[in-house]
Structure 1
Amino acid sequence: MPLHDPFVVADEETRTYYLYTSNEPSVSGVEGVGTMVYRSRDLRDWAPPVVVFLVSEQDGVWAADGGWAPEVHKWRGRYHLFTTVHDERRPLPVGPQDRWGVPFRLPAHARGTITAVSRSPLGPFTVLSPERPTPPAHLMTLDGTLYVDPEGAPWMVYAHEWLQTVDGTMEAVRLDPDDLSRAVGDPVYLFKGSDASWLGERIPAGVPHQLPPYVTDGPQLYRSPGGLLVLLWSTYEKDTAGPGGSLSGGYVQTYAVSESGGLRGPWRQRRPLLREDSGHGMLFRTFEGELTLIVHRPFENARGKLYGMEFTADGLRVARRRDDLDGGG
């Protein structure tokens, strides 16, 4: 099952797991940028995917490439699809790279999450505001996710791309509850990629530990039974020196915990949950009640991997590997 940036909806009414990912024409049989969904009753055997959203079928969408990180949330009786699109022909301004001593120029361009809606988890989904992304259009952003605060107000939490900022950040913007495609007010800064102090642990001796860039990907927020607010996110762990002093490494699934219990933090970074080129994970509960993490691994030619998880008094931990479901590897 080829998939990237997996997102699972466990629908209690139909006892069906819906696994959303970017459309892969060689698998779905449908050409175009969009979203496809696999379905299962047991997380082991899956029906062939069906396409639920195509950018080309929407009128006047501002960008036609990408279709990354689709996720579906039920809000006020309708299903809302968030997915990221981009247009490389529309350049955006880049932040102050010189203070980092970056040995290359970063090609920032228009990228952001769009919001579409349907009456069914199987679509078809229709874009609500085709003329713009939900986060501010002058920011290069991706991977928008829904967070509902204790007062019931919806927010989109997203990653602000390192291509524009060098040190990628997590940010949030409040949404209009009557139209989840419309932001209300200015973005709120949460944290930056370099806040994860463990990022330099695998860098060879003699290589500076504070070289950019710092990637932020795949935010997902959850409230633990004990009241902790946890934010899953992914990055690249730096472990080798590349051309010009740049650093590269495997994809990593990590997380942060809000010290205040609220969206504004401050956020305390925790050690990675998974390495092995794994990431962009999300949590869901099985119909048997087990807290489960799904990630993709490896980053290229990715497949879904499942883990049983447990909330602890101060965070989150991996309880067991579910290779009985995903076939191992």
Structure 2
Amino acid sequence: MTLRLDQIQIRDPYVLTRPSSGDYLLFGSTDKNIWSGQATGFDCYRSSDLLTWEGPLEAFRPQRGFWSQEQYWAPEVHEYRGRFYMFATFIAPGRLRGTQILAADKPEGPYEPWSDGPVTPANWQCLDGTLHVDEGGTPWIVFCHEWKQVHDGAMMAQRLSPDLRSAVGVPVFLFSASEAPWSRALDVPSVRDREFPVYVTDGPFLFRLSSGKLLMLWSSFGDTGYAMGLARSESGTVLGPWTQEAEPLWGTDGGHGMIGRHLDGSLFLTLHQPNKTPYERATFFPLLELEDTVTLAGVLPAERLT
């Protein structure tokens, strides 16, 4: 089936660019209701122009006995040592939310469990793990320690084994959501009676600039709803310290995105917008790479917030 982008309901879009085949694969949270009820799995879509898409293609369907049955979130697909690995978030009654790693021989799947359950800590409420391979070749998972457990959502990094099957050592704290000048406390009825203000961390994505500097794209809530900002590692490594940009890269009712490359090598930003089910759609914007950051092409900072 051929679909326009505005016909595909999707949250947390993630794009894998394939220059060798001249196309793109779009992944994301694709269940009609990702918040409750029986989960179906993850779909992907294929395109040569980011405008029209073939699909859905079944990227992951849980086998009988799979531990999680609902709330399948934020799949990312990374090529690593000749195979493809999907980092995705799951939860189940009696178990806390966490990111598990799945694997496949082809980027579109089908994916099967690779790690033995989540690689994030079993006693932590975690989500949105992403893969980062440092300049020495060591793999890391960067993930969010969720506000539901710590109030001020935290960004964490954890080393992984070379085969991506398990965590190594202990998680390292990177920063809290409230450290970003643009981040605002969540203001919804379900959190207003909490003792401490709630700040959200979502969707980390790491990107190394041509200059060698390391950026992290991540989401929270700003002055006008769901938003996405940038942090910069002062050391150029995943361990930081991380400095937050003062204004969000995207400030209006959209977020949980990533930085990708067009087939010609130029950069784009993708995110979901609006942040309300079932209206979420993937959107794409050109990006310009600067010495120490990226910026939306042709959009002035003030315009990002309106």
Q: How many Å separate the matches in 2 of 1:25 and 1:3? A: 8
Aligned partner of 1:7 in structure 2 is 14
Residues 97-136 of structure 1: CA deviation (Å, up to 9, x unaligned): xxxxxxxxxxxx6100111111011211110134x21111
Aligned partner of 1:103 in structure 2 is none
Please report how far the alpha carbon of residue 21 of structure 1 lies from its aligned counterpart in structure 2 after TM superposition.
1.4
Q: Is 1:258 the equivalent of 2:233?
A: yes
Question: Which blocks of at least 5 consecutive residues in structure 2 are unaligned?
Answer: 1-7, 188-194, 300-306
Please report how far the alpha carbon of residue 14 of structure 1 lies from its aligned counterpart in structure 2 after TM superposition.
1.0
Structure of larger gyration radius? 1
Q: Is 1:33 the equivalent of 2:40?
A: yes
Q: How many Å separate the matches in 2 of 1:2 and 1:177? A: 35
Please report how far the alpha carbon of residue 211 of structure 1 lies from its aligned counterpart in structure 2 after TM superposition.
5.9
Aligned partner of 2:77 in structure 1 is 72
Aligned partner of 2:54 in structure 1 is 47
Match of 2:179 among 195, 200, 205: 195
Q: Is 1:161 the equivalent of 2:146?
A: yes
Instruction: Give the partner amino acid of 2:76.
Output: E
Please report how far the alpha carbon of residue 263 of structure 1 lies from its aligned counterpart in structure 2 after TM superposition.
1.0
Q: What is the TM-score with the length of structure 1 in the denominator? A: 0.80
Check the 8 A contact 1:294/1:306 in 2, yes or no: yes
Aligned partner of 2:165 in structure 1 is 181
Instruction: Give the partner amino acid of 1:69.
Output: A
Give the match's secondary structure for 2:152.
coil
Aligned residues: 278
Q: What RMSD over aligned residues (CA atoms) do the two structures have, in Å?
A: 2.1
Residues 52-101 of structure 1: CA deviation (Å, up to 9, x unaligned): 1012x1x54332222100010111111101110012x32xxxxxxxxxxx
Q: How many Å separate the matches in 2 of 1:85 and 1:148? A: 23
Q: How many Å separate the matches in 1 of 2:160 and 2:103? A: 15
Q: How many Å separate the matches in 2 of 1:212 and 1:144? A: 24
Aligned partner of 1:94 in structure 2 is none
Q: How many Å separate the matches in 2 of 1:25 and 1:280? A: 18
Matches within 5 A, 1:199-214: 199-200=183-184, 212-214=197-199
Q: How many Å separate the matches in 2 of 1:268 and 1:228? A: 12
Match of 2:297 among 303, 316, 319: 319
Give the match's secondary structure for 1:6.
strand
Please report how far the alpha carbon of residue 200 of structure 1 lies from its aligned counterpart in structure 2 after TM superposition.
4.9
Q: Which runs of 4+ in 1 moved over 4 A?
A: none
Please report how far the alpha carbon of residue 25 of structure 1 lies from its aligned counterpart in structure 2 after TM superposition.
5.8
Q: How many Å separate the matches in 2 of 1:136 and 1:260? A: 26
Check the 8 A contact 1:145/1:220 in 2, yes or no: yes
Check the 8 A contact 1:224/1:230 in 2, yes or no: yes
Check the 8 A contact 2:184/2:199 in 1, yes or no: no
Aligned partner of 1:246 in structure 2 is none
